[in-house]
């Protein structure tokens, strides 16, 4: 089981849908979150992509020297960059970070945003482009280890004698992650991807996805790893956790929810449509669980106004750990988590849930590798007792 956290490059807050309690999207803050994730024992961090975010490659590169072991899951955007140049960027990042690059293929689901970036292909053709892009990207990096060139003459992309002279540390190339819920997405994952990611749907729906992709991959003689993208709201008691969920959306109003849902409905992303179906725009400020707890401890309230991953695990530490174990039992290995605000919640989740999971923390938690008192020494004399929980 590998637990990753999230760098909130589109902003962070204690409340959704309002500027109240918000934090500026600054390098200093991103650096704090990255260092926290690194020191607490998270496997890596996801950096989002899109026009609402700071550029993921520039920011990830700026955080290499601030971290020691943290891996960076950074976006590949077919149609917005060329495959050989993108492969060169990936190889450089992988080399300079000591092999800490993970890449996340993003085809994009918002046509308006994509057109603003210069990409006008419809949904199905974006996946055709992505298939060609990955073919070139993977091939040129794999052959870089032997200093060989790559040529490709396809419907969307053409390359003649493409080379990467400085090969990545990861062989044959940095691992490729991908999430998508459409027919085209599942087929692409089966053919070319290393790890398939799903947004946080109920376990039965996730099990169906995993089975479908495994069956498709088997036809190509391939196997994949699997992961899930979720928010987490964990507190020492279940009641506290649900009060925290209510607090998170306490400044939302029906107009803000309606505007967000209208925008999501315009997107051609099947995954976004599935997220919207979970919450259906329902918002009852007096009872945030009503109609939004779509599976035990799985709350769809985040997706009322947030695009992409729209569900959170809500509960006490054991409940959240149990839900994670249920997903793990379906074959999921990667858990990419986040919480508002991201700095404090990274600490809270590590403190409360890590001890309950079979996570290899690589001796990165302070209590496992350091000696001496832990916690504040009482009255300058008494060392706190070590918790047995």
Mean per-residue pLDDT for 333-349? 97
Residue ranges in 300-365 assigned as alpha helix (H):
317-329, 342-352
Domains for the chain: give ranges and CATH numbers: 2-76+175-369 (3.20.20.30)
The overall average pLDDT reported for the chain is: 92
Mean per-residue pLDDT for 145-159? 97
Residues contacting 183, CB < 8 A, separation 6+: none
Cα separation, 178 vs 188, whole angstroms: 9
Whole-Å CA distances, 24 to 43, 70, 256, 337: 25, 23, 21, 21
Neighbours of 211 (CB within 10 A): 12
Mean per-residue pLDDT for 282-311? 92
Q: How confident is the model at residue 52 (pLDDT cuts 50, 70, 90)?
A: confident
DSSP state letters, 262-299: HHHHH---HHHHHHHHHHTT---TT-TTTTTEEETTEE
Q: How confident is the model at residue 385 (pLDDT cuts 50, 70, 90)?
A: confident
Contact 226, 196 (CB under 8 A): yes
Report for 275-284, 299-308, 339-348: range of highest mean pLDDT? 339-348
How much is the pLDDT for 361? 47
Residue 57 pLDDT > 60: yes
Contact 226, 210 (CB under 8 A): yes
Mean per-residue pLDDT for 250-255? 90
Q: What percent of the chain is predicted at pLDDT more than 90?
A: 74
Higher pLDDT, 381 or 80: 80
Residues contacting 315, CB < 8 A, separation 6+: 233, 234, 238, 241, 297, 323
**What is this structure's pTM?**
0.92
**pLDDT tens per residue across span 118-131:** 888 888 999 999 99
């Amino acid at each position: 089981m590998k637990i990753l956290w999230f760098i909130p490059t589109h902003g962070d807050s204690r409340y959704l849908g309002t500027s109240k309690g918000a934090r500026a999207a600054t390098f200093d803050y991103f650096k704090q979150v990255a260092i926290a994730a690194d020191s607490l024992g998270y496997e890596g961090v996801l950096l989002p992509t899109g026009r609402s975010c700071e550029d993921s490659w520039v920011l990830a590169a700026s955080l290499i020297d601030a971290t020691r072991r943290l891996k960076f899951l950074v976006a590949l955007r077919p149609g917005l960059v060329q495959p050989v140049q993108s492969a060169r960027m990936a190889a450089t990042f992988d080399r300079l970070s000591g092999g800490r690059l993970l890449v996340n293929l993003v085809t994009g689901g918002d046509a308006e945003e994509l057109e603003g970036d210069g990409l006008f292909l419809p949904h199905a053709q974006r996946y055709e482009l992505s298939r060609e892009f990955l073919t070139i990207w993977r091939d040129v990096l794999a052959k870089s280890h032997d200093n060989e060139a790559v040529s490709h003459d396809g419907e969307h992309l053409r390359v003649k004698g493409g080379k990467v002279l400085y090969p990545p540390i990861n062989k044959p190339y940095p691992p490729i992650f991908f999430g998508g819920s459409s027919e085209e997405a599942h087929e692409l994952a089966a053919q070319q991807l290393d790890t398939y990611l799903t947004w946080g749907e109920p376990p039965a729906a996730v099990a169906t996805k995993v089975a479908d992709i495994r069956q498709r991959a088997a036809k190509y003689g391939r196997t994949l790893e699997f992961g899930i993208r979720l928010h987490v709201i964990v507190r020492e008691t279940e009641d506290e956790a649900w009060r925290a969920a209510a607090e998170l959306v306490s400044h939302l109003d029906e107009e803000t929810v309606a505007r967000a849902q209208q925008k999501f409905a315009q997107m051609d992303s099947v995954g976004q449509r599935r997220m919207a179906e979970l919450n259906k725009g329902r918002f009852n400020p007096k009872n945030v669980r009503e109609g939004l707890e779509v599976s035990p401890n799985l709350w769809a309230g985040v997706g009322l106004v947030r695009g992409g991953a729209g569900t959170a695990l809500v509960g006490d530490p054991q409940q959240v750990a149990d839900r994670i174990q249920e997903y793990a039992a379906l074959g999921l290995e990667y858990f990419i988590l986040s919480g508002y605000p991201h700095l404090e919640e990274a600490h809270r989740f590590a403190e409360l849930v890590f001890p309950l999971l079979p996570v290899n923390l690589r001796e990165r938690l302070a209590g496992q590798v350091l000696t001496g008192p832990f916690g504040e020494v009482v009255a300058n004399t008494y060392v706190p007792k070590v918790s047995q929980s």
